[in-house]
Amino acid sequence: MAFDECVENPSTYEYALKSADRTYRWLKRCKAEMQKLNSLDDTINKNQLLFGINQGCCYEDIRIEHMKKIAQLDLDGYAIGGLAVGEPKEEMYRIIDCVEPYMPTDKIRYLMGVGTPGNILTGVSLGVDLFDCVMPSRNARHGQLFTWNGIINIKNAKYKEDMSPIDGECGCEACREHSKAYLHHLFKANEMLGARLAVIHNLNFYNTLMERIRQSIEQDRFDEFFNKYVDILDKRI
């Protein structure tokens, strides 16, 4: 990833504009430095990719102009940064939608730091290919588990004697071998195993979600998959 500035949101128009220009200048320097390093005989990885990052806060005109400029640099991929930093999700979707038409169609499109299963589904529907987020593991350590029926907090008292798996549709180790009641006990007892099992489950859920998204696209039924799960997966049970 090229060096960029992720500005505070909300930010003034004037600062967002200056920041986007600064990020563009840094990107050009990053590309030039990478080309210089790749010309040397002792460079270890000459196949490393370079992505540029679109910035501009929530100002559509800044975002679009910045995307147009970085698209001309013929990079390996393009990221949308500076979102999921506290703005309403509708604002995030609006910015993705306005930027997407100006992103090269033959290059990877990356939405940085996102997000919930519903965010990912909506991002894919808007043309995004790649995501990263701490949410599966970070939230797991606090007892928040993602399932195909919605989000549960395993610390809640109602799971104290619940002998069912976290998610009946999941085949991860935590779901195969342990019950909600056992995980509830581990969290209440402050046993690290509880957090480990929760992380195993959430990472498996996210991997399975992405696999099912790819399959639905390949089978030309993504719209059906999206409509079925976009609201359910972010619902708190």
pLDDT score for 161: 98
Biggest CA pair distance of the chain: 63
Asked whether the predicted pLDDT for residue 186 surpasses 90, the reply is yes
Q: What is the pLDDT of residues 32-58, one digit of tens each?
A: 999 999 999 999 999 999 999 999 999
Please classify residue 41 by burial: count the beta carbons closer than 10 Å to its beta carbon, then call 0-12 exposed, 13-18 middle and 19+ buried: exposed
Task: Report the distance separating Cα 176 and Cα 183, nearest Å.
Answer: 13
Mean pLDDT for 160-165 is 98
Task: Report the distance separating Cα 33 and Cα 23, nearest Å.
Answer: 15
User: To which residue do tokens 């995004």 refer?
Assistant: 128
Mean pLDDT for 9-30 is 97
111 and 131 in contact (C-beta within 8 Å)? yes
Question: How does residue 130 score in pLDDT terms, banded at 50, 70 and 90?
Answer: very high
Asked whether the predicted pLDDT for residue 9 surpasses 90, the reply is no
Beta-carbon-side half-sphere exposure of residue 211 (alpha carbons within 13 Å): 6
Angle at Cα 76 formed by Cα 135 and Cα 203, nearest 5°?
Answer: 20
Instruction: Give percent of the chain with pLDDT exceeding 70.
Output: 100
Q: How far is C-alpha 38 from the chain's CA centre? A: 30
Domain ranges of the chain: 13-133, 136-229
pLDDT score for 128: 98
Handedness of CA 33, 38, 43, 49 (dihedral sign): positive
pLDDT score for 144: 98
**In this structure, how many other beta carbons lie within 10 angstroms of the beta carbon of residue 164?**
11
pLDDT score for 223: 98
Asked whether the predicted pLDDT for residue 126 surpasses 90, the reply is yes
Q: For the whole prediction, is pTM greater than 0.85?
A: yes
Asked whether the predicted pLDDT for residue 86 surpasses 90, the reply is no
Backbone angles phi, psi at 38, to 5 degrees: -70, -15
Task: Report the candidate in 58, 77, 79, 62 with the shortest Cα–Cα distance to residue 4.
Answer: 79
CATH for the 13-133 domain, from 3.30.870, 3.40.630, 3.30.450, 3.40.50: 3.40.50
Task: Report the distance separating Cα 184 and Cα 55, nearest Å.
Answer: 42
Asked whether the predicted pLDDT for residue 157 surpasses 90, the reply is yes
Average pLDDT, the chain: 97
Task: Report the distance separating Cα 75 and Cα 109, nearest Å.
Answer: 11
